Amino acid sequence: MGRKINYFSTNRDLPGANGLSSRKGTVTFREALLQGQAPDEGLYMPDYIPRLSVEDLNSLRGKPYSAAANLVAQAFLADEIPAGALSGIISDAYNFDVPLERVTERKFILRLDQGPTASFKDFAARLMARLMAYYRPGGRLLNILVATSGDTGSAVGAAFQGVEGARVFILYPKDEVSQRQKRQLESIGGNVQAFCVAGKFDDCQNLVKQAFADPDLGALNFTSANSINFGRILPQIIYYVWAYGQLAQGGEEIVFSVPSGNFGNALGCEYARRMGLPVKKLVMPVNENDEFPGYLATGLYEKVDPSRDCLSNAMNVGHPSNLARFFHLYGGTVDRKGRVYRYPDLAEMRKNIYAVSISDRETLETIARVYRDYGLLLEPHGAVGWRGLELYLAAKGDFSLCVSLETAHPAKFPEAIEETLGFSPELPASMKDIDERTGDSIFLSNDYLEFKELLLRRIGQGD
């Protein structure tokens, strides 16, 4: 701790990636947060990773979640935000429970589904919204573009709802969100507008990235609330640190299983490990979009294009944005289109990471079996995480302390639960009126020029 941290682009070493000039220098956290994506289409990364001591981690036992949030946030932002202001931001962001449920003696579920939109995305979105409000240039509007495969959009929309000086534009794939996710996205209203895109999540993501790199839109003060923004990654480090502090002591090793789509959540665990958390293995189960397990198995990266539709829809990603950060951390470079310029250290990746693809059939079987054996109700994403952990333990014979992440509330996926278990899960308090909510989205073809013209028109009119 104590060293000033700046941020650089993952494309900084490329000779004019995608026809753009590489961003060679560094920026502050404030600049990285408000820009979202670097001008060369790279993703910002810290040039230094602060360390946490065993004493730091041990001090969290029995403490509230905000204690871990302050510990991690101060490590990155002590030179950027006064301690009192940062503590106030954190207290306001995290006003809900974070249950850790014991399943067996050494296996736990970390429930990240208790926030205002019943998704783990609430953790990052709420802190990020407050940091953006803190940093917003006086008198200037922030126009926030978000591509979502399900839960990101509603979490970001809810986090920014009513925030002065912020407008949010959410792009979601027409046929790849559940009906309840769609209602959440469309019913936020006010300063939040949803766009229904005739395409897949990767198409939504590419539209957003093109807008960030378009010089014609430079004056519109766009930023991202997707995990391409490091402001989304920083908060996702916290819950690994907090969970470890509650369960382990004295440097004990731990295994985390993180259901993975765009890889921002798993990246939080990777950064936590590099900060000193004793993570023995990061398990990264994916659905049938199996580009990453394929890469670890063969050493050759091939994106899945088009991405495959699966029950765990938030993970329907054929080329994860945060793969660029993973590659860079291990000495490689890949761009937003999936072109690899330099491969990372595969042996080191395999040492730290285990990835496996889980089919829809396995997902449903896991929901049924885990409910029957443990009385534990999982939704499709959490089931992918649990099954991935089972396969890792079976393959490696590991008896470490294990935590698997449940990333959304089962009530967001009633169809899968009803099909498998014959009942509909009870709605959490944050979703009690979800089936009565109304709202509209704007239909958008998968055409960048149409999207660009619409943005210029709506922002120019102050809509």
Pairing of strands 166-173, 142-147: parallel
What number of other Cβ atoms are within 10 A of residue 251's Cβ? Answer: 10
Question: What distance in Å separates the CA atoms of residue 235 and residue 91, rounded to the nearest whole number?
Answer: 13
Q: Which two tokens stand for residue 372?
A: 């029957």
432: Cα within 13 Å, side-chain hemisphere: 2
- Residue-level length of the chain: 463
**Do residues 325 and 333 touch, judged by C-beta distance below 8 A?**
no
Tokens 């054996």 belong to residue: 373
- Per DSSP, 378 falls in state -
Cα 429–Cα 434–Cα 439 angle in degrees, nearest 5: 140
- Per DSSP, 43 falls in state B
Beta strands in 88-165 (DSSP E): 100-104, 107-111, 142-147
Question: What distance in Å separates the CA atoms of residue 305 and residue 318, rounded to the nearest whole number?
Answer: 6
Q: In a 3-state reduction of DSSP, which class is residue 254?
A: strand
What number of other Cβ atoms are within 10 A of residue 447's Cβ? Answer: 14
Cα 454–Cα 456–Cα 461 angle in degrees, nearest 5: 100
Cβ burial 368-394 (10 Å sphere, 16+ → b, else e): bbbbeebeebbbbbbbbbbbbbbbbbe
Q: Which two tokens stand for residue 113?
A: 């589904």
Q: Which two tokens stand for residue 40?
A: 């060369």
Question: Would you call 121 a catalytic residue per the annotation?
Answer: yes
What is 196-250 written as a DSSP string? Answer: EEES-HHHHHHHHHHHHH-GGGGGG-EEE-STTSHHHHHHHHHHHHHHHHHH--T
Of 24, 63, 121, 281, the catalytic one is 121
- CA nearest to 452, candidates 230, 114, 217: 217
Q: How far apart are the first and last CA of the chain?
A: 44
Residues carrying an active site annotation = 121
